[in-house]
């Protein structure tokens, strides 16, 4: 039986997707790839392809597809890729409470988050809710994030929970603080007030165990159970270009007035020594002496009479090198960073820390942090973060550098594009 052009395109996409990822695409991914906005139209064409003997389908699971000519069945593909399949049950408010997931129209019906097993807490039932609102931004949860929930009806003080307010028939995402006959549902954003609820009118429906964010094409994952580990000195004791690439996805952390601020590093530039005319260490001066080591220390300088720039010293002791941290994706203390940038009234972190001067202003980094040991300081450090694949990295010449042609053309700028 002949196929329509649309069906040929669908088959080609399923095959290409399976070869690249090791498992089939979802209906929404198929629709987006071939220009079909309606999931029902995608399903119709998949049914016709099944009738024509081109594929096998299962409506009971997401990605339940298999091409007759060899794309693995979903169970085999998921086993090979070690995926955990988490159902999307709806929305959760991080602001004004809204109807519970079971009482709202689920815009993600039958859809799932398919996540590598090593990114998800092991064992037990889990489900996913998409966050609406910004009342939890200082707890690493932004509008649009997915929170992974373990169903349970008890919690410890300070746990982040899905709280069902019985008399209002609404749910909200907040920190849980029992206080006698009352419960305080505490936001993590100074722009919001706590919600007091009589204990007998509150039901805990689940506890947050992880958060996933899609931001600037990066999938960022935050695990509340994983300790933050500072990068050791050996990490920095390599050539500047190697360290600049390796810093992508690592977590820059700043403690300011007992509050943690920071985010994942997404843009860096490497600078060398006497062979690099764009580097401060091209000629040794009192200012650039710190670039000669030892590695793992912060080098902060002031430019244009208005901006500070943060660098991490690299190379073996006595060999100059440093990496300029040009941008981070905000993760912690976002409300505080917005305030420091004069943007407290805004509800978006877009452009908040996408330049070296911006991130230093947002994090409160000045000359006072020059010379801090990044491997030991409680004030400023770089911690283990997310792995960044090579196909997500753009490598370009450095921005606005001076010096000879070699300095201007060196491919020592690294950007996490996703």
Residue ending a domain, among 215, 244, 262, is 215
93 and 64, same domain (yes or no): no
pLDDT tens across 166-215, in order?
A: 888 888 999 999 999 999 999 988 888 999 999 999 999 999 888 876 54
| End-to-end CA, the chain | 40
Residue-level pLDDT at 225: 43
208 and 232, same domain (yes or no): no
Among candidate residues 351, 328, 327, the one with its CA nearest the CA of residue 341: 351
DSSP bridge pairs for 55: 67
Look at residue 75 and tell me if it is in a domain: no
Look at residue 193 and tell me if it is in a domain: yes
CB 62 within 8 A of CB 29: no
198 and 258, same domain (yes or no): no
- pLDDT class of 151 with cuts at 50, 70, 90: very high
User: Is pLDDT larger for residue 331 or for residue 246?
Assistant: 246
Q: Helix (H, G, I), strand (E, B), or coil: what is residue 144?
A: coil
Residue-level pLDDT at 214: 54
| pLDDT reading at 76 higher than 60 | no
38 and 132, same domain (yes or no): no
- pLDDT class of 246 with cuts at 50, 70, 90: very high
Q: Which two tokens stand for residue 59?
A: 């409506």
Phi, psi of 171 (to 5 degrees): -120, 160
Look at residue 221 and tell me if it is in a domain: no
Please identify which of the residues 54, 88, 93, 174 carries the catalytic annotation: 174
Look at residue 73 and tell me if it is in a domain: no
141 and 55, same domain (yes or no): no
Report the CATH number that the domain containing residue 10 is assigned in CATH. Answer: 1.10.10.10
For the chain, the average pLDDT equals 83
267 and 383, same domain (yes or no): yes
245 and 393, same domain (yes or no): yes
Task: Give the C-alpha separation, 9 to 49, whole Å.
Answer: 11
Look at residue 222 and tell me if it is in a domain: no
Task: Give the C-alpha separation, 335 to 365, whole Å.
Answer: 17
113 and 204, same domain (yes or no): yes
| Share above pLDDT 70 across residues of the chain, in percent, rounded to a whole number | 82
CB 381 within 8 A of CB 183: no
User: Which residue spans within 94-193 are E strands per DSSP?
Assistant: 112-116, 127-132, 146-150, 160-165, 170-179, 182-186
262 and 392, same domain (yes or no): yes
Report the CATH number that the domain containing residue 196 is assigned in CATH. Answer: 2.10.109.10
Residue ending a domain, among 192, 215, 238, is 215
Residue-level pLDDT at 216: 42
Look at residue 100 and tell me if it is in a domain: yes
What residues contact residue 78 under an 8 Å CB cut-off, 6+ apart?
Answer: 23, 63, 85, 114
Residue-level pLDDT at 353: 92
Please identify which of the residues 62, 93, 135, 381 carries the catalytic annotation: 135
Phi, psi of 2 (to 5 degrees): -75, 155
Domain count, the chain: 3
Q: Is 52 a catalytic residue?
A: no
Report the CATH number that the domain containing residue 365 is assigned in CATH. Answer: 3.10.300.10
13 and 111, same domain (yes or no): no
Q: At what angle do helices 39-51 and 5-21 cross, to 10 degrees?
A: 90
pLDDT tens across 285-297, in order?
A: 988 999 998 999 9
The model's pTM: 0.54
Domain that holds residue 362: 228-416
User: Is pLDDT larger for residue 100 or for residue 73?
Assistant: 100
CB 209 within 8 A of CB 136: no
Look at residue 223 and tell me if it is in a domain: no
Q: Helix (H, G, I), strand (E, B), or coil: what is residue 32?
A: helix
Residue ending a domain, among 43, 68, 93, is 68
Residue-level pLDDT at 175: 93
Task: Give the C-alpha separation, 322 to 320, whole Å.
Answer: 7
| pLDDT reading at 61 higher than 70 | no
Look at residue 74 and tell me if it is in a domain: no
Distances, alpha carbon 89 to alpha carbons 109, 147, 245, 356, in Å: 7, 11, 38, 39
Between 5-9, 95-99, 232-236, 406-410, the lowest mean confidence (pLDDT) is in 95-99
Q: Is 135 a catalytic residue?
A: yes
pLDDT tens across 334-393, in order?
A: 888 988 988 866 666 778 899 999 999 999 999 999 999 999 998 999 998 877 888 889
28 and 108, same domain (yes or no): no
Task: Give the C-alpha separation, 413 to 326, whole Å.
Answer: 9
308 and 404, same domain (yes or no): yes
Exposure letters 11-27 (e unless 16+ CB within 10 A, then b): bebbbebbeeeebbbbb
Task: Give the C-alpha separation, 230 to 236, whole Å.
Answer: 12
Residue-level pLDDT at 59: 58
CB 64 within 8 A of CB 74: yes
């Amino acid at each position: 039986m002949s196929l329509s052009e649309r069906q040929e395109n669908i088959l080609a996409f399923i095959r290409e997707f399976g070869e690249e990822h090791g498992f089939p695409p979802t209906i929404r991914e198929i629709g987006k790839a071939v220009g079909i906005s309606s999931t029902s139209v995608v399903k119709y064409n998949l049914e016709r392809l099944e009738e024509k003997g081109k594929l096998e389908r299962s409506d009971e699971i997401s990605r339940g597809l298999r091409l007759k000519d060899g794309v693995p069945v979903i169970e085999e593909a998921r086993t090979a890729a070690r995926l955990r399949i988490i159902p999307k049950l709806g929305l959760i408010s991080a602001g004004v409470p809204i109807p519970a997931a079971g009482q709202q129209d689920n815009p993600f019906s039958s859809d799932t988050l398919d996540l590598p097993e090593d990114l998800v807490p092991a064992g037990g039932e889990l489900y996913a809710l998409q966050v609406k609102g910004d009342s939890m931004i200082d707890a690493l949860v932004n509008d649009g994030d997915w929170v992974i929930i373990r169903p349970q009806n008890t919690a410890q003080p300070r746990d982040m929970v899905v709280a069902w307010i019985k008399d209002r028939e609404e749910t909200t995402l907040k920190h849980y603080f029992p206080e006698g006959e009352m419960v305080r549902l505490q936001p993590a954003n100074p722009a919001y007030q706590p919600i007091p609820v009589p204990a007998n009118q509150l039901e805990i429906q689940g506890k947050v165990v992880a958060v996933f964010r899609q931001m600037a094409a990066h999938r960022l994952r935050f695990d509340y159970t994983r300790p933050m580990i500072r990068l050791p000195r050996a990490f920095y004791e390599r050539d500047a270009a190697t360290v600049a690439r390796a810093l992508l996805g690592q977590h820059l952390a700043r403690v300011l007035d007992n509050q943690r601020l920071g985010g994942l590093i997404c843009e860096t530039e490497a600078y060398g020594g006497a062979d690099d005319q764009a580097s401060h260490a091209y000629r040794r001066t009192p200012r650039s002496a710190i670039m000669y080591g030892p590695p793992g220390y912060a080098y902060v300088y002031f430019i244009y009479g208005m901006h500070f720039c943060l660098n991490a010293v690299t190379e073996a002791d006595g060999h100059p090198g440093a990496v300029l941290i040009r941008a981070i994706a905000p993760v912690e203390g976002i409300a505080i960073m917005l305030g420091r940038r004069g943007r407290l009234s805004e509800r978006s972190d877009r452009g908040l820390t996408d330049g070296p001067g911006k991130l230093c202003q947002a994090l409160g980094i000045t000359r006072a942090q020059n010379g801090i040991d990044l491997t030991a300081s409680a004030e400023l450090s770089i911690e283990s973060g997310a792995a960044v694949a090579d196909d997500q990295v753009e490598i370009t010449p450095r921005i606005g550098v001076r010096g000879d042609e070699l300095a201007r053309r060196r491919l020592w700028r690294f950007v996490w594009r996703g």
